[in-house]
Structure 1
Amino acid sequence: MRKLVYYIAVTLDGFIAAPDGTYDSFVMEGDHLEAIKTELPETLPVHVRAAFGLDAPPARFDTLVMGRETLQPALDVGIASPYPHLRQYVLSRTLAPSDDPTLTVVNEDPIGLVRSLKAEESELDIWICGGGNLAGQLLPEIDELFLKVNPVVFGRGIGLFSSGIGPDPFPAQLFEHLESRQFDSGVRFTRFIRPEPGRE
């Protein structure tokens, strides 16, 4: 069965965006970007791929899930489908259905959606593109955390996770460190995996 991977940029203090949803203070250039272009080209949005002249096929993911707030910046600049080279599912109770065949708006239970996607026959994984609310709801199904840790502190903002379900936080869940890679840009890639049953 393929994995659900939360692949996301994050600050040293655990935020994926500033309070207004922006992330301009993240490191946007450097050797870590070259690694992304080579190893995970499908995670770059269509306008960035075009700027770099990238037309590489997916290397790790063929499907992504995201929340409405993650899609909104693309919609604001007229991009209806930011990752047309992938199957995109947007979890939203308010967004109208999309006319784009590469993007599906879903207002059902995100856990059920992800479980059905995991059960599909595919050698590639599923990417949680954002944001923290959706990741909090999907935490029981997340198999890997792939964090692009940026050398910056926001102090406040949108957290890596939020429960998104009532006032109570979700229970603590243990992940095992898989690997880390430091780049000259100051960004560090750190991967964690969910322990196998019986090893928590």
Structure 2
Amino acid sequence: GKQYDIQVQRYRCKNCGKLSQTEFHDEYGPYSNFSKETKNKTVKIMRLDSISLRNTSKIHKIFSKIKISHESVRSSVSVHNKLYYVNDDVELSGYYGYDEQWAKISGTWKYRYVLFDIINNVPITEILNDTVDEELVKSFIKDNIPPHKRKGIVTDMLNEYDGIMNDLGFDHQYCILHFIRNVSKKITTHL
């Protein structure tokens, strides 16, 4: 609920002209004026009863003493659309499951990214995306699990997951069901 005014130096590459800046913390996205927690609250406020952008802005000012323009509210909602879910009510255990699933929506394939807290037996967050690649998976997990809450994670046996989970600081384990299926398939093929 505290507001800080910070000026950040941006740098322009002399070769390509691209701007960059120092990243603050996992709680803030690049070039973001508001924390991910504030953006998640914005989404929850708007879901209460289809509250308008301007009224959502006023609610932030009254209860959090944070002045957010209605355009920043619109930006938060467009990034975290109806297909995005975060469970803020759970105290993260440090042990998770991650998976991607395919879902066909209106004739188009979407990818559902899901993080699950294994100890608490609850979903943490999920989102539907049009594509799937290593960087999207990495940023999805990094954005939703703070570094001090990363102990262990279970995934299926995609080779890419080893590098992602090691970079994020997890002890990585393969799903036993997937492991048994793969071993059985290889044994059957061999026999």
The TM-score with structure 1 as length reference comes to 0.27
Higher relative contact order by CA 8 Å / sep ≥ 6: 1 or 2?
1
TM-score (norm 2): 0.28
Structure with bigger helix share is: 2
